[in-house]
Chain A
Amino acid sequence: MTIRSISITRRLVISVLLLELLTAFALIVAVTVHEHHIELKAFDATVTGTAETLMGAVQDAEDQGDNVMLDLRGVQLSNNALYRVEDERGQVLGSFGDSAMLSRALLNPPGFFEAKIGHVGYRFFVLHGVRTIDPGQANGGVSHSISIVYGIPVRRVWHEVIESIRFFALATALLLSITTILMVLLVRRHLAPVHELAHEADRISSRNWQFDAPASAKETVELRPLAKALESALMRVQLSFEQQKRFTSDAAHELKTDVAIVKSSLQLLSMRKRTVDEYSEGLALSLDDFTRLESTVEKLLTLARLEQPADRADGAPSTCSLRKAVEEAVHQSKPFAELKMIEVIVEVRDTAAISLDGRDALLLCSNILVNALQHSHEREKVCVKLVRRDADVVLTVQDWGEGISEEDRPYLFDPFYRGDISRSRKSGSTGLGLSICKAICTRGGGSIEISNHPAGGALVTVILPASDSTSISKELSA
Chain B
Amino acid sequence: MRVLLVEDEQRLAENIVAALREVGLAVDHAADGEAGSHLAEQGVYDAIVLDLMLPGKSGKNVLRDLRQRTIHSPVLILTAQEGKESIVELLNAGADDYLGKPFDLGELLARVKALIRRGKGASASVLRMSDVELDTVHQTVLRGGEAIDLSPTEYRILEYLIHRPRAIVSKQELLEHLYDFAWEHHSNVIEAHVSNLRRKLNVPGTEPLIETLRHRGYRLTGGGPA
Query: Would you call B10 an interface residue if the criterion is a C-beta within 8 Å of the partner chain's C-beta atoms?
Result: yes
Query: Would you call B31 an interface residue if the criterion is a C-beta within 8 Å of the partner chain's C-beta atoms?
Result: yes
- A259-B102, A271-B19 given; A264·B55 CB < 8 A: no
Q: How far is the CB of B31 from chain A (nearest CB, A)?
A: 6
Q: How far is the CB of A290 from chain B (nearest CB, A)?
A: 11
Q: Could you say which of A256, A261, A267, A422 contacts B11, with CB atoms under 8 Å apart?
A: A261
- Give a binary string over A251-283; 1 marks a CB under 8 Å from any B CB, 0 the rest: 011001101111111011001100000000000
Which of the listed residues B12, B32, B81 has the most CB atoms from chain A within 10 Å of its own CB? B12
Query: Would you call A421 an interface residue if the criterion is a C-beta within 8 Å of the partner chain's C-beta atoms?
Result: yes
Which residues of chain A are within 8 angstroms of B82 by Cβ–Cβ distance? Answer: 249, 252
Q: Could you say which of B9, B16, B18, B19 contacts A425, with CB atoms under 8 Å apart?
A: B9
Q: How far is the CA of A426 from the CA of B8 in the complex (A)?
A: 9
Report whether B9 and A268 are in contact in the complex, using a CB–CB cutoff of 8 Å: no
- B window 32-86: CB within 8 A of A: 32, 53, 55-56, 80-82
Report whether B16 and A264 are in contact in the complex, using a CB–CB cutoff of 8 Å: yes
Which residues of chain B are within 8 angstroms of A285 by Cβ–Cβ distance? Answer: 11
Query: Would you call A289 an interface residue if the criterion is a C-beta within 8 Å of the partner chain's C-beta atoms?
Result: yes
Report whether A268 and B18 are in contact in the complex, using a CB–CB cutoff of 8 Å: yes
Which residues of chain B are within 8 angstroms of A263 by Cβ–Cβ distance? Answer: 102-105
Query: Would you call B101 an interface residue if the criterion is a C-beta within 8 Å of the partner chain's C-beta atoms?
Result: yes
Which residues of chain A are within 8 angstroms of B16 by Cβ–Cβ distance? Answer: 264
Which residues of chain A are within 8 angstroms of B10 by Cβ–Cβ distance? Answer: 425-426
Q: Could you say which of B8, B101, B102 contacts A421, with CB atoms under 8 Å apart?
A: B8
Q: Could you say which of B9, B19, B81, B104 contacts A261, with CB atoms under 8 Å apart?
A: B9
- B window 1-36: CB within 8 A of A: 8-12, 15-16, 18-19, 22, 31-32
Which residues of chain B are within 8 angstroms of A265 by Cβ–Cβ distance? Answer: 11, 15
Query: Would you call A420 an interface residue if the criterion is a C-beta within 8 Å of the partner chain's C-beta atoms?
Result: yes
- B window 93-109: CB within 8 A of A: 100-106
- A253-B80, A257-B9, A260-B80 given; A268·B55 CB < 8 A: no
Q: Could you say which of A256, A259, A267, A288 contacts B105, with CB atoms under 8 Å apart?
A: A267
Which residues of chain A are within 8 angstroms of B55 by Cβ–Cβ distance? Answer: 420-422
- Give a binary string over A169-200; 1 marks a CB under 8 Å from any B CB, 0 the rest: 00000000000000000000000000000000
Q: How far is the CB of A297 from chain B (nearest CB, A)?
A: 14
- A window 397-456: CB within 8 A of B: 420-422, 425-426
Chain A binding surface SS class: helix
- A265-B11, A289-B11 given; A260·B53 CB < 8 A: no
Report whether B102 and A252 are in contact in the complex, using a CB–CB cutoff of 8 Å: no
Report whether A264 and B105 are in contact in the complex, using a CB–CB cutoff of 8 Å: yes
Q: How far is the CA of A249 from the CA of B79 in the complex (A)?
A: 12
Which residues of chain B are within 8 angstroms of A272 by Cβ–Cβ distance? Answer: 22
Report whether A422 and B15 are in contact in the complex, using a CB–CB cutoff of 8 Å: no
Report whether B105 and A253 are in contact in the complex, using a CB–CB cutoff of 8 Å: no
Which residues of chain A are within 8 angstroms of B102 by Cβ–Cβ distance? Answer: 256, 259-260, 262-264
Report whether A425 and B8 are in contact in the complex, using a CB–CB cutoff of 8 Å: yes
Q: How far is the CA of A289 from the CA of B15 in the complex (A)?
A: 11
Q: How far is the CA of A261 from the CA of B7 in the complex (A)?
A: 12
Which residues of chain A are within 8 angstroms of B11 by Cβ–Cβ distance? Answer: 261, 265, 285, 288-289, 292
Which residues of chain A are within 8 angstroms of B103 by Cβ–Cβ distance? Answer: 260, 263-264
Which residues of chain A are within 8 angstroms of B22 by Cβ–Cβ distance? Answer: 268, 271-272
Which A residue's beta carbon lies closest to that of B108? A264
Which A residue's beta carbon lies closest to that of B31? A422
Which residues of chain A are within 8 angstroms of B31 by Cβ–Cβ distance? Answer: 422
Which B residue's beta carbon lies closest to that of A418? B55
Report whether A264 and B15 are in contact in the complex, using a CB–CB cutoff of 8 Å: yes
- Give a binary string over A228-254; 1 marks a CB under 8 Å from any B CB, 0 the rest: 000000000000000000000100110
What are 30 contact pairs spanning A and B, CB under 8 A? Answer: A249-B82, A253-B53, A253-B81, A256-B100, A256-B102, A257-B9, A260-B9, A260-B12, A260-B101, A260-B102, A260-B103, A261-B9, A261-B11, A262-B102, A263-B104, A264-B12, A264-B19, A264-B103, A265-B11, A267-B104, A271-B19, A271-B105, A271-B106, A285-B11, A288-B11, A421-B8, A422-B31, A422-B56, A425-B8, A425-B10
Residues of A within 8 A of B (CB): 249, 252-253, 256-257, 259-265, 267-268, 271-272, 285, 288-289, 292, 420-422, 425-426
Other A-B contacts than A265-B15, A285-B11, 20 sampled, CB-CB below 8 A, are A252-B80, A253-B53, A256-B101, A257-B101, A259-B101, A260-B9, A260-B80, A261-B9, A261-B15, A263-B104, A264-B16, A267-B19, A268-B15, A268-B19, A271-B19, A271-B106, A288-B11, A292-B11, A421-B8, A422-B31
